[in-house]
Structure 1
Amino acid sequence: LMTNQKHYTKDLTKIASVRLSPNLLDQGIKCADSLDMTFSDFIRQSIIKNVSASIDKRTKNNQQKVSLAQ
């Protein structure tokens, strides 16, 4: 049952940058604001909690690298 589970060795709290489509970047900022969190903390928590967001393959090449505040 758990054989397909990925095991991550990286410390996900130390993530310094992520690649997001403009749409996901906008949604992330709005969600962080609504939760009264910083964008960086929201993204880190989303990754750590394994919250997945689907990215339209057509916009995959239109992603922006976003630096996260430490």
Structure 2
Amino acid sequence: MMVELGIQSVEILGDSMLVLKQITGEYKFLNPSLAVYLVAAINLLAEFREATWEHIPREENLAANEMAHIATGV
């Protein structure tokens, strides 16, 4: 949706340090069944002029967790 709206900068707040470091290439990606998601994330990030990310511990990220559940219909 952000790409369709022409948004050029995105700030990602994630509660999984492992995932954030895999996306940045700091950690190896070892689970082949999830590789499609890593590729999709990297391709999506390429659509933005600027992308930043920050690790937010899950207990401090309750609002984002609730939004994610709403967005996925869980």
Could you state the TM-score of these two structures normalised by the residue count of structure 1? 0.25
Larger strand share, 1 or 2: 2
